[in-house]
Chain A
Amino acid sequence: MKIFMKLSWFMKQEKASYIWGILSLATIAILNLIPPMITATLIDQMTNQTLRVQTLLLLVGGLLVNAVIIFAMRFVWRICIFGASFRLERLLRLRLFEHFAKMSASFFKENRVGDLMAHATNDLKSVQRVAGLGVLQGADALISGVSTLLAMIFFVDLKLTLITLIPMPFMIIGAQILSKKLHTTFHKAQDAFSNLNNRTLESINGIKVTKTFGQEKEEVASFEDETQDVYKKNMAYVPWDAGFDPLIEIIVVISYILLFIFGARMIEANQVSVGQLTAMVSYMNLLIWPMLALGFLYNNVERGNVSYDRIQALFDVKPEVRNVKHAIQEKPHGDLVFDVTDFRYEDSNQPVLHDVHFEVKPKETLGIVGKTGAGKTTIIKLLLRESDSFKGSIHFGMHETYRYDLGLYHQAFGYVPQDQFLFSMSIADNIRFGNIDATMEQVKAAAKLASVHDDIEGFAQGYETMVGERGVSLSGGQKQRIAIARALLLDPEVLILDDSLSAVDAKTEEQILASLKQVRHNKTTIIVAHRFSAIKHADQIIVMDKGEIVERGKHEQLAIRGGWYAEIYKLQETYQGGTSHESKE
């Protein structure tokens, strides 16, 4: 029940909803006790032949009024309690989102998208269930359970009540066992289902390989094994699921037998009336739900509690990069002075950057090359402040980078990442992602600079073409160029291309580099590349190896120096041309 304590902040906030909701539930619980009394009175008066028309109409009228009030109250509690629980879900979801938005790169490295999504969907749902269904089950079980018991004892008879109740604990225990078993077996079925999901996705993505090797039949056969596994695991939970109704039915029947046999004895002894016996039957039916609810409540609360803790644990993570006190409230501009003596990732003791020093003036272009894992992207990450915890300093203009307000700091950058990430919105909205107020002219101008305008115009819906699931599938090169346009639209102080021309063919690469030269003539540009053709024109090239700068200079100097750069350049000249062809993704 700890979870209700943990949620108390919310319940306080939604005090009115919960109070009204629980009051309505209480009213229903009490009003529900009346119809059996009315029926009992009618039956007794009918048996004794003492019934009069007025009494009959009065009682039946009472029954109807009662029903209408219950109807209204049922509506009220739903709105109050379920409404509050949905508001909790909404609130937590938004908070999670805002929290994610504050998190640094390290957070997303530690938590995979799938896991974060699971927290934001399943865990949130479990918490919502506790705040809605859980409260209902708890409050209703308590209120209607107790009030029905009281009615049984006071309106009928204590002894008969106790006898009737003998089998009830078995129902609670049984329901609990069943739902526990159901939970574990169902969990396995869900795992199998999610395997099937991954498996199907993989098969579809790998369809070309399957076709190439002519293994369609084998694929189908192994898929059938997988569906068979899902079938088996599903059938494993079925008995537990199907067991609920029979369990209740049988326990209730046992109560009935006890009730009739002992009830008849008591009627014989004139301790209860026939009407009271029928009322007892009705009350027993009213008790079933509270009993079950208690069984369900236990599992609900348990799951909700775990889920809430998981969500809370996410909230407790503090962003690694935060604004310092009195952060400088201006957009940085000027020289970049990178002077990092040591940087390593938290989980390793191997430095990723060691004594890296360089300066870039506005209107200069810096080229960064080196093997995979040499530290190129790490330099970019530090420039973008994905982490501020390094030894040494990075100055941007007058101040060290960490002293700027993070939001303003980022405004100075246009960044084209390695992985060409685009959002599922129109191409136009993707290009103006950094400035949603940009005009269509600006969007088109940026697209032209990135040599992607003609491609976009070629689509049936032009700039309004949707990207993603239900939209067009773009080639890797098209994505890269749209991402370049997105960065160029901002006309940023510093433009960073992190290996962003890899899927673009030589001719287009040349075009883009030419337009960059033209529009970036008084701003800083940083280009990370594998293909040296992208950085040949740079004012300064640094060659990274194992986190250190091993060579630096202009292309002409490096090409004849006889180092790694010259060697690779020669290799590239022989092997890699520029007819790079755009792969369809």
Chain B
Amino acid sequence: MNQKNDFYKETFTSKEQKAILKRLLSYLKPYIKPLIFALLTTIVATTCFVIAPLIMRWLVDNGLTTQGVHMDIIIRGACLYALMCSLYAILRFFQLIQLKRLGFKLCKDLRDALFAKLEGMGMRYFDQTPAGSLVSRVTNDTEAIQEMVNEVLSVIVSSIVMIVGCVIAMSFLEWRLAVFCLCFVPVAVLIMFYYQKLSTRYYLTAREKLSQLNTRLAESISGMYIIQVFNQEKRIASEFAKTNDEYYQASMKNVRLDGLLLAPTIHLLIALALAMMLTYMGFQSFAGLASVGMVVAFIEYIYRFFDPMFQIMDRLSIYQQAIVAAYRIFFILDHQEVAPQQDAIENAKIAEGKIEFKNVSFSYDGKHEVLKDISFVVEPGETLALVGHTGSGKSSIINVMMRFYEFTKGEILIDGISIKEYPIEELRKKIGLVLQDPFMFYGTVADNIRLKNKLITDTQIQEACEFVQADQFIDKLTGAYNYQVSERGASFSTGQKQLLAFARTIVTNPKILILDEATANIDTETESLIQEGLQRIQQGRTSIAIAHRLSTIKDANKILVLDNGRIIEAGDHESLIAKEGVYYAMYQLQKSGAEKY
């Protein structure tokens, strides 16, 4: 839980921020050349922009003298000025594109890295982390970082160059005025500091409120029928109104803060600096020392000097957001919950399919053991049925067998070799799992059977479907195997999905079959198809099944009755019935369940 709280952390000390930023910038290493190129472009562009007012001064002072107007100087000056500004504009264009490219590249790299990391995580991680939040990390947080590189990096570099350049140019013209202008820097920094502090807080609140608002709205829309049937429209609406109002208040705080500290303040500072400069120049003129060109140039410099400050302040929230985002991304990248590791012997192959559990214990959380000292053997071609109540450990046996989780004690052997010593590819190829709730991907029916394995041909797919008798309903679909599966296979019944899952597994022709039989909502017609399918796919394969169907159980070579993580009874159907123990009781309850009503 503690870790989770950490994950949603939103404020960081400057030391933490620095560390995060440093690590983030390290991702730019592969792009060091284009980065340097972009920065050089920025420096050249900004220099052009800083030089332009000097030309203006020269033009005014030499072209528009009290003695008369020198058109040649004016034209030359104007062209030179235009050249500088155009150079600035064009270079800036390329610099922007270059930096954006970097930002998008970085964003792609982070996304790929995150996704690869996620694919390698153990199942436990996905049990604990809601999918929505992971998607946010992969898409939105990386976007926030990209925005920072695009917006902040270029602005910071160009702002620094601009401010330094302006100071140099100004001191070249009139060092006293440059010193005056420098006096504004601490003031601006102070304002920036306060603005950053407040705006971060307001910004985060507003964002938080907006996300609350949208979550509420989405949830209320999906659950509107519940709200209506339970007559809670008024209450839910008034709660919504409250959050809505809180969001408004938070937005207004932002508006007020921006209104006070952002653009208007910078404009005020500019006015102050102008007033100072004019006063100084006025007094200089009494001594006959001022020049009009100087005034004109200084006006331009003052704008160029203060504008970067505004640009930086305007983007502080982006930076803040990126730090939060980067923190979360690194949190995932640093996560240790990797999938169980193999200690593979090369070329180890599963030939027979004999499965042996030797004193296997397993725990999800490290505290409560859900499997305790489990031992059993399944001979090649045999079927083992697991029965027991919810939480008895049936699914856990499958989970450790599939290497979704690492077991804590004991050994699992396949054909006499530890399951850890097979290359993971071999295990995946030879062990087929049929999930209870078969997940359907976006794509065609064929895509959903082939998955990403391009070696599987269309004929193989058709054969697999015929084998499990899924072809009957597939042929009726428009486009048959090319039928587009809608969102999560919503247009299929659970039974149909189950048949597709059989086909998906059978097409890879596994040696060992693990079955988590579906229970819910299968209409009884499809049910008999599934029964047949089940029997067909189990032929010639070793299988372990979490069994809900009496037929599976009866035909199994061996039945394990689990309770609380232990095997309490084992044997075949007849022997267990004869024993008149737990299995017998369960069987009676199932068989004739509610006949007593």
Q: How far is the CB of B514 from chain A (nearest CB, A)?
A: 9
When A215-B453, A220-B115, A264-B64 are in contact, do A581 and B390 touch as well, CB less than 8 Å?
A: yes
- Asked if B520 CB lies within 8 Å of chain A CBs, one says yes
Q: Is the CB of A264 within 8 A of B74?
A: yes
Chain A contacts for B130, CB-based, 8 A: 469-470, 473
The answer to whether B225 touches A212 (Cβ under 8 A) is: no
| A residues less than 8 Å from B271 (CB atoms) | 35, 63-64, 66-67, 70
Residues A577 and B590 in contact in the complex (CB < 8 Å), given A42-B282, A433-B226: yes
B residues within 8 A CB of A116? 221
Known contacts A246-B92, A257-B82, A579-B548: A423-B225 contact under CB 8 Å: no
A142 within 8 A of B: no
Of B15-23, B94-102, B167-175, B572-580, the one touching chain A: B94-102
Identify whether the interface residues of B are mostly helix, strand, loop, or mixed.
helix
Least Cβ–Cβ distance between B368 and chain A, in angstroms: 11
Separation of A214 and B519 alpha carbons in the complex (Å): 26
A201 touches B132 (CB 8 A): yes
Residues on the B chain within 8 Å of A196, using CB: 111, 139
Report the bound CA distance from A386 to B527 in whole Å: 32
Q: Chain B interface: which of A78-86, A342-350, A353-361, A518-526?
A: A78-86
B97 close to A242 (CB less than 8 A): yes
Contact A579 B387 (CB under 8 A): yes
- Inter-subunit contact A74/B85 (CB<8 Å): no
Instruction: Give the CA-CA distance A407 to B234 in the complex, in Å.
Output: 10
- A77 (CB) vs chain B CBs: closest residue: B259
Of the listed stretches A9-17, A233-241, A295-303, A304-312, chain B binds: A233-241
Q: Is B255 in contact with A577, judged by CB distance below 8 angstroms? A: no
B 401-422 to A, binary, CB cutoff 8 A, 1 in contact else 0: 0101000000000000000000
Given contacts A94-B244, A235-B101, 12 further A-B contacts (CB under 8 A): A35-B271, A53-B286, A101-B220, A207-B118, A238-B97, A246-B90, A249-B89, A256-B81, A423-B223, A502-B520, A575-B528, A577-B591
Whether A580 sits at the interface, judged by CB under 8 Å, is: yes
Complex Cα distance A57/B233, Å? 66
Flag if B523 contacts A577 (CB, 8 Å). Answer: no
Which residue of the partner chain, among A39, A205, A267, A486, contacts B278 with CB atoms under 8 Å?
A: A39
Is B593 located at the chain interface by the 8 A CB criterion?
yes
Instruction: Say yes or no: B101 contacts A384, CB within 8 Å.
Output: no
CB–CB B221/A113 < 8 A: yes
CB closest residue in chain A, given B402: A212
A93 to B255, CA, bound (A): 19
Which residue from B132, B493, B548 sits with its C-beta under 8 Å from A469?
Answer: B132
Q: Which 7 pairs, one residue from A and one from B, show the smallest C-beta to C-beta distance?
A: A214-B428, A67-B271, A577-B590, A218-B452, A242-B96, A249-B89, A246-B89
Distance (whole angstroms) from the CB of B342 to the closest CB of chain A: 11
Closest beta carbon of chain A to B454's beta carbon, Å: 8
Check: B32 CB closer than 8 A to any chain A CB: no
Q: When the two chains form their complex, are residues B71 and A264 in contact, meaning their CB atoms are under 8 A apart? A: yes
- Contact A79 B435, CB 8 Å, known A97-B237, A249-B85, A268-B69: no
Q: How far is the CB of A9 from chain B (nearest CB, A)?
A: 19
Q: Give CA–CA (A219, B439) in the complex, Å.
A: 15
A108 contacts which chain B residues (CB < 8 A)? 221, 224-225
| B-facing residues in A210-225 (Cβ within 8 Å) | 210-216, 218-220, 222-224
Chain B residue contacts of A166, Cβ below 8 A: none
Q: Is the CB of B593 within 8 A of A578?
A: yes
Interface residues of B in 529-567 (CB under 8 A from A): 531, 546-551, 553
Cβ contact within 8 Å between A203 and B115: yes
Q: What residues of chain B lie closer than 8 Å to A460, measured between beta carbons?
A: 1
Cβ–Cβ contact B219 & A423, under 8 A: yes
Which segment, of B192-200, B288-296, B345-353, B372-380, faces chain A? B288-296
Given contacts A243-B93, A580-B548, contact A105 B225 (CB under 8 A): yes
Contact B108 A231 (CB under 8 A): yes
* B394: contacting residue among A215, A490, A581, CB under 8 A: A581
Interface residues of B in 224-276 (CB under 8 A from A): 224-233, 235-237, 240-241, 244-245, 247-248, 251-252, 255-256, 258-260, 263-265, 267-268, 271-272, 274-275
Query: For the complex, is A43 an interface residue (Cβ under 8 Å from B)?
Result: yes
Q: Which of the residues B135, B222, B428, B438 comes within 8 Å of A197, measured between beta carbons?
A: B135
**B452 to A: closest C-beta gap in Å:** 4
Contact A83 B252 (CB under 8 A): yes
- What residues of B have a CB within 8 angstroms of the CB of A578 in the complex? 589-590, 593
Closest-CB distance, A112 to chain B (whole angstroms): 9
Nearest-Cβ distance from residue B383 to partner chain A, whole angstroms: 16
Q: Which of B93, B127, B390, B548 has its CB near the most chain A CB atoms (within 10 A)?
A: B390
B165 at interface by CB-CB < 8 Å: no
In the bound complex, what is the Cα–Cα distance between A90 and B248 (angstroms)?
7
Known A-B contacts A117-B217, A203-B115, A238-B101; A60 and B282 likewise in contact (beta carbons under 8 Å): yes
Instruction: Give the distance to chain A from B253, nearest Cβ to Cβ, in Å.
Output: 11
Interface string of B511-522 (1 = CB under 8 A from A): 000000001111
Residues of B90-147 at the interface with A, using a CB-CB cut-off of 8 Å, are 90, 92-93, 96-97, 100-101, 104-105, 107-108, 111-112, 115-116, 118-120, 123, 126-127, 130-135, 138-139, 143
Task: Check B66 for interface membership: any CB of A closer than 8 A.
Answer: yes
Candidates A198, A264, A473, A533; contact of B594 at CB < 8 Å:
A533
Partner of B452, one of A75, A79, A215, A267: A215
User: Which single residue of chain A is at the shortest CB-CB distance from B519?
Assistant: A580
**Is A71 within 8 A of B267, CB to CB?**
yes
Closest chain B residue to A198, Cβ basis: B442
Contact A417/B452 with A78-B258, A278-B299, A371-B523 known, Cβ cut-off 8 Å: no
CA distance A530 to B138 in the complex (A): 40
User: How far, in angstroms, from A156 to B255 measured CA to CA in the complex?
Assistant: 37
B334 at the interface (CB under 8 A from A): no
A476 at the interface (CB under 8 A from B): yes
Interface hits, A250-284 → B, CB 8 Å: 250, 252-254, 256-257, 260-261, 264-265, 267-268, 274-275, 277-278, 281-282
User: Is B112 in contact with A223, judged by CB distance below 8 angstroms?
Assistant: yes
Is B79 part of the contact surface with A, judged by Cβ < 8 Å? Answer: yes
B119 with A231: CB separation less than 8 A:
no
| A557 is an interface residue with CB less than 8 A from chain B | no
A324 to B597, CA, bound (A): 44
Chain B residues with CB under 8 A of A281: 296
Q: Is the CB of A421 within 8 A of B222?
A: yes
Which residues from chain A contact B135 at a C-beta distance below 8 Å?
197, 200-201, 204
B507–chain A nearest beta-carbon distance, Å: 10
22 intermolecular pairs with C-beta atoms under 8 Å apart: A43-B292, A49-B288, A75-B260, A78-B258, A97-B241, A101-B236, A199-B442, A204-B134, A212-B402, A212-B433, A228-B108, A234-B100, A238-B100, A243-B93, A253-B89, A386-B225, A424-B219, A469-B132, A507-B389, A536-B595, A575-B531, A575-B551
Which A residues lie within 8 Å of B521 (CB)?
372, 499, 502, 530
Q: How far is the CB of A19 from chain B (nearest CB, A)?
A: 18
Partner-binding segment picked from A146-154, A390-398, A408-416: A408-416
Whether a CB of chain B sits under 8 angstroms from the CB of A209 is: yes
A496 nearest CB across to chain B (Å): 9
Across the interface, B233 reaches (CB within 8 A) one of A101, A216, A231, A243, namely: A101
Given contacts A257-B79, A421-B223, A216 and B119 within 8 Å (CB-CB) = yes
Q: Which residues of B contact A254 (CB under 8 A)?
A: 82
B26 at interface, CB cutoff 8 A: no
Q: Would A257 and B218 be within 8 Å (CB), given that A264-B64, A278-B296, A372-B493 are in contact?
A: no
Min CB–CB distance A160 → chain B (angstroms): 14
Q: Which residues of B contact A208 (CB under 8 A)?
A: 123, 126, 404, 435, 439
Stretch from A133-141, A180-188, A332-340, A566-574 at the B interface: A566-574
Contact of B264 among A71, A201, A211, A241 (CB under 8 A): A71
Once the chains are docked, how many angstroms separate the CA of A286 from the CA of B60? Answer: 21
Q: Which residue of A lies closest to B64 (CB)?
A: A274
B133 to chain A, nearest CB (A): 7
Q: A197-B135, A200-B138 are in contact. Are A113 and B222 (CB under 8 A)?
A: yes
B520 touches A56 (CB 8 A): no
